[in-house]
Amino acid sequence: MQNFVFHNKTKVYFGKGQIENLADEISRFGKKALLVYGGGSIKRIGLYDDVIKQLEKAKMTVYELGGVEPNPRHTTVNKGAALCKKEGIDVLLAVGGGSTIDATKAIAAAAKYDGDDCWDLITHKASVKETLPFLSVLTLAATGSEMDGGCVISNIETNEKFGYFAPDNNPDVSFLDPTYTYSVSAYQTASGSADIMSHIFDVAYFSMQDQMDMLKRIQEEVLKTVIKYAPKAIEKPDDYEARANLMWASSWALNDFLYDGLSQSTVCHAMEHELSAFYDITHGHGLAILTPRWLSYVLNEQTAPCIKRFGVNVMGVDENLPLMDGAKTAIKKLEEFFYETLGLKSKLSDLGIDDKNFSVMAKKACRAKGVLKGFTDLTPLDVEAIYRMCL
Ligand code: NZQ
Ligand code: ZN
């Protein structure tokens, strides 16, 4: 077990109608706000109007940056940062899913950077020294961006997508009202649920390192929560209990609480970010395709106990099965959950992806060190083999 520091600065308002507190919260940070949102879903569900009412109540001068793309682009971040500099923006407000919140995080940092290209910060050519304050109103349960310091930005010209983490880059305040997720499609609900599960799998659950038992058991409970409520939310999109459980699971899966300082590559995320960098696919769907194949690929005598434990404690696998059979049954049940229960397509070829770029993607996924250090270490040849298992 490792030593660790837990610090999460995000203040969360959770539940119906909590948006009423936005005016008071945002006015603490100044008078000029940049409202950032995606392709229009917030207008269709009436949330844009709720937010504008609050900003008027707070007597803010409001600027807007709409049209943030899923897999947000660095060019959009640059546009937002330039607007902040030109208008002297005091505070940012992200209203949307992970892409909108991530773009806002990057704008918060780029607005305080002397250069004019945020890609310098994302690629660590320059370091983040200061950020603008920002708040978020979450509309999709998936990434955990509403309560973490990470953001993931894409450079579509170079087929690159990089995660960038700054511990102080959490939202200052986040509003989590599950009713704003009633309109999320079955597809995005399924993909977001796969993403929540993958954060637990990737950051800590599937690991050869020692972990605090309490955390391991809570990870299993959060996984079971997603398995219980994602199908309910798909079946009945306005099921408040289901949406609330998914939303809070999203935040806690990646806000550092579940991890006791262990350190490993987030292997499936590294592999998936190449898929979305090259093919602009939905992040959670890519993870749902990769994860069971990755587990099958790394299954051996050393990894089997952890995979079988997942099967028994989370997926209802019979604990009396022999080790290897138990682990294989766990993987099969995870596949059934993603592809049958949640209805996600199971193959990369279903998304129009062939093996043309696998070799270069595999090398990029392993980065400069040439190896992903995780549950088992993976070289580019291993990663390429896993991509092929997904075809
Ligand atoms: O753009 P709009 O019109 O808002 O539509 C979005 C988008 O088309 C729609 N949507 C969101 N809320 C909705 C809604 N539609 C109807 N009703 C609502 N209430 O859903 C689509 C996808 O939105 P997006 O924000 O892209 O999804 P998600 O939250 O899954 O974010 C994905 C991005 O986050 C990154 C991913 O790589 C990807 O770029 N990640 C960020 C992480 C972090 N910050 O820590 C960690 C994750 O592992 C992940 O990598
Ligand atoms: Zn993710």
What is the Cα–Cα distance from 28 to 57, expressed in whole angstroms?
Answer: 13
What is the Cα–Cα distance from 357 to 362, expressed in whole angstroms?
Answer: 8
Calculate mean pLDDT across residues 294-323.
Answer: 98
**Measuring CA to CA, which residue among 259, 283, 46 is closest to residue 151?**
283
User: How high is the pLDDT of residue 343?
Assistant: 98
Question: What is the average pLDDT value for the chain, to the nearest integer?
Answer: 96
- For residue 376, count CB atoms less than 10 angstroms from its CB and return exposed for 0-12, middle for 13-18, buried for 19 or more: middle
Question: Residue 198: pLDDT band by 50, 70, 90 thresholds?
Answer: very high
Tell me the CA–centroid distance for residue 172 and ligand 1, in Å: 19
Q: Return the residue whose CA atom lies nearest to atom 26 of ligand 1.
A: 70
Pocket probe for ligand 1: among 188, 226, 278, 344, the residue whose CB has the most ligand atoms within 8 Å is 188
For the full predicted model, state whether its pTM sits above 0.85. yes
Task: Look at 280 and 2; give whichever has higher pLDDT.
Answer: 280
Instruction: Give the pair of three-digit tokens for residue 323.
Output: 């080790």
- Range(s) of the chain covered by CATH 3.40.50.1970: 11-180
Please report, as a single letter, which amino acid is at residue 88. G
- Range(s) of the chain covered by CATH 1.20.1090.10: 185-389
Place of tokens 């996600």: 344
Express each pLDDT in 322-354 by its tens digit: 999 999 999 999 999 999 999 999 999 999 999
CATH level 2 (architecture), domain 185-389? Up-down Bundle (1.20)
Find the helix or strand (DSSP H, E) in which 36 lies.
Answer: strand 32-37
Least confident window among 36-45, 262-271, 357-366: 262-271
Tell me the CA–centroid distance for residue 324 and ligand 1, in Å: 36
Check whether 167 has a pLDDT greater than 70: no
CATH topology of domain 11-180: Rossmann fold (3.40.50)
What is the Cα–Cα distance from 146 to 100, expressed in whole angstroms?
Answer: 10
Find the helix or strand (DSSP H, E) in which 160 lies.
Answer: strand 160-165
Residue 364 CB-half CA count within 13 A? 19
Express each pLDDT in 366-380 by its tens digit: 987 899 999 999 999
Tell me the CA–centroid distance for residue 306 and ligand 1, in Å: 30
Calculate mean pLDDT across residues 210-232.
Answer: 97
Q: Which ligand is closest in space to the CA of residue 152?
A: 1
Express each pLDDT in 241-255 by its tens digit: 999 999 999 999 999
Least confident window among 40-54, 154-168, 288-302: 154-168
Q: Return the residue whose CA atom lies nearest to atom 48 of ligand 1.
A: 143
User: How high is the pLDDT of residue 18?
Assistant: 98
Q: Dihedral of the CA atoms 127, 129, 132, 135 (nearest 10)?
A: 70
Q: Which ligand is closest in space to the CA of residue 74?
A: 1
**Please, what is the angle between helix 240-253 and helix 186-200, to 10°?**
40
Return the percentage of the chain with pLDDT > 70, whole number: 100
Helices (H) and strands (E) in the chain, counts: 15, 8
Atom of ligand 1 nearest to the CA of 99: 25
What is the Cα–Cα distance from 253 to 342, expressed in whole angstroms?
Answer: 19
Pocket probe for ligand 1: among 184, 272, 283, the residue whose CB has the most ligand atoms within 8 Å is 283
Pocket of ligand 1 (CB under 6 A): 38-41, 45, 70-71, 96-100, 102, 139-140, 142-145, 148, 150-152, 180-181, 183-184, 188, 192, 195, 254, 269, 283-284
Return the percentage of the chain with pLDDT > 90, whole number: 93
Tell me the CA–centroid distance for residue 203 and ligand 1, in Å: 20
Question: Residue 263: pLDDT band by 50, 70, 90 thresholds?
Answer: confident
